[in-house]
Structure 1
Amino acid sequence: MADNEEKNGETGTVEDLKSANALELHRAVREEGQAELERPTGSLFWSGVAGGLAITASLVAEGAIAAHTAPGPARPLLLAIGYPIGFLIVILGRMQLFTESTVTAMLPLVNAPSWGATGRTLRLWSVVLAANFIGTALAAAAFAFLPLGDAALHAGMLEVSMKITEHGPLATFVNAVPAGFLIAIVAWTLPNAREQAFFVVFGIVYVVAIGGFSHSVVGSTETFLLLFSGKIGGAQVLAFLAPAVLGNLFGGAGLFALLAHAQVREEGV
């Protein structure tokens, strides 16, 4: 009896040490997405607004680094250190972020497709995206019109934001695809790395930053700041946001979510 208990104890310990396999990850992310789909619209909206406000910390951190570093070949790598800050706040704080929901909301749909599931998925995406943009617009307006921070910080934030004007709509779409794919990977890997969540989020989002990929929500903070500061017009805001959203969707829901489902489809998800 003691030997059996010892063996069972050893087996339990081994099972506890194992990482979840692809099928288990699929189930965990799918169940999380299903829970999001069932949340009331008001809850999604206010969580999305909070996420939009909080994601602005990425631009603030980048702007602060830009204000205190001299030009040089390594400067872009230093600026990128600030980029994951907002994502860490939003993801670890369990706020709604559009690009993270591309995979979590997509898995329940591809697992059991129906018109009702499609409607629930579109409701989630539209509410969260609109709420994220409201949050980023409010934050950008605060920095443009209120005496937040000092002149150096404001100049640094504008410097960082001006990078979005370097790409046209097609280039923005192309660069948004890998950003959507990588942020979807964050949502996929977190169930296997809860104790290392900080490093997982920071590392993957840092790659988005140094790669110069286009993220629709962080990018909306930059475009709104430029708009409210008189640097660009409304047409340029739309020329960035529309292709960035579509590219993020294609990378997250169109590529990663479908690949993540395809790898376990024959294993009885």
Structure 2
Amino acid sequence: MENAKQSKSEEQQNIDNELQNSKNSEADIAKSHGEILKQQIVEGQETYDKNPISILLSSLTAGLEIGFSYLLICSLYFFLNGKFAEDTIFSAMAFVYPVGFIMVILGQSILFTEQTSLLTLPVLNKKRSISSLLKLWGLVILGNLIGGYLIAFLLVWFGPQLNIFDLQTIEKIALHVTQYNNIVILVSSILAGWLMGLLSWLVAASKDTLSRIVIIFMITAVLGFTGLHHSIVGNVEVFAGLISSPAISILDYIYFIALSLFGNALGGFVFVALLKYRAFVYEAKG
């Protein structure tokens, strides 16, 4: 038993040494796997060390800012409705879907899906506990959801007043998000979480703001074009439908938000954090 513990301790020490020895690349050289992982772990630990009120407010800000994607989605649908086929309009939303994400990520507000893999890395590296991760996830989700509720209430009132979209548009978008069965929504959310975790990794690998904007646009446009379920944008879409249309029930909302949050977390954790961390561990062993 003691030999096993000593072996695990030595393995962890080797991993920490490899991360410590990862040097910053020159400006014209791509970052190595170890450099990106070290940056992600350090940034993740900094988030754990923040004041809980600061985390909640930053998360709430992200929930509000992601609403600008929803504002443009509704406005585009209303503008193109009757001029193009509905499936063409939903595909065209990929061009405006990334706007809120660019605001959130470059503004460094805390978004659950973008932070999911980042926050699990210190746990995998044995620097933070699972209970601290769950507590932090809870704060981030709470802030994101409250921010989404606030912006949804505002836009449901504001859009028709400004005549940039109507309540029928809100209903159509909410139904488009929730029309699938639970298994489809779950798998879709896992894929979306995978992409968002990859987005966090690629943003860490990039060296300038323009590259980050291109990466954010590229990944989130895939989400928008394919209709993969993102829990925080979807929260605004479905909640807005809930408060403005009898076609969306409270059960529709609860099922959607539970499945999408779980799927996004699972996708970000398994396909990005765990696999990339384990790949580095085996590299360190070799």
Unpaired segments of 5 or more residues in structure 2?
1-24
Q: 1:20-78: per-residue Cα shift (whole Å, max 9, x none)?
A: 01111111111111111111110000001110011011111111111222223643331
Instruction: Measure the CA separation in 2 of the matches of 1:71 and 1:257.
Output: 41
Q: Is the 8 A contact 2:65 2:100 kept in 1?
A: yes
Q: 1:8-29: per-residue Cα shift (whole Å, max 9, x none)?
A: xxxxxx9331010111111111
Instruction: Measure the CA separation in 2 of the matches of 1:64 and 1:262.
Output: 44
Report what 1:202 is aligned to.
217
Q: 1:149: how far off?
A: 5.0
Instruction: Measure the CA separation in 1 of the matches of 2:101 and 2:172.
Output: 20
TM-score by length of 2: 0.84
The alignment-based identity, stated in percent, is: 26
Report what 1:161 is aligned to.
174
Instruction: Measure the CA separation in 1 of the matches of 2:260 and 2:237.
Output: 13
Q: 1:81: how far off?
A: 1.0
Q: Tell me which moved more, 214-223 or 231-240.
A: 231-240
How do residues 27-46 of structure 1 correspond to structure 2 at under 5 angstroms? 27-46=38-57
Q: Does 1:219 align with 2:237?
A: no
How do residues 9-88 of structure 1 correspond to structure 2 at under 5 angstroms? 15-69=26-80, 70-72=83-85, 74-88=88-102
- Which residue identity does 1:219 align to in structure 2? G
Instruction: Measure the CA separation in 1 of the matches of 2:181 and 2:223.
Output: 19
Unpaired segments of 5 or more residues in structure 1?
1-13
SS at match of 1:16: coil
Q: Which runs of 4+ in 1 moved over 6 A?
A: none
Over aligned residue pairs, what C-alpha RMSD do you find?
A: 1.9
Q: Is the 8 A contact 1:62 1:156 kept in 2?
A: no
Q: Is the 8 A contact 1:81 1:206 kept in 2?
A: yes
Q: 1:146: how far off?
A: 4.9
Counterpart selection for 1:133 from 145, 154, 160: 145
Tell me how many residue pairs correspond in the alignment.
Answer: 254
Report what 2:190 is aligned to.
177
Instruction: Measure the CA separation in 2 of the matches of 1:254 and 1:87.
Output: 22
Report what 2:251 is aligned to.
235
Q: Is the 8 A contact 2:170 2:241 kept in 1?
A: no
Q: Is the 8 A contact 2:120 2:133 kept in 1?
A: yes
Q: 1:188: how far off?
A: 0.4
Q: Tell me which moved more, 127-136 or 167-176.
A: 167-176
Q: Tell me which moved more, 142-151 or 251-260.
A: 142-151
TM-score by length of 1: 0.89
Q: Is the 8 A contact 2:71 2:155 kept in 1?
A: no
Report what 2:260 is aligned to.
244
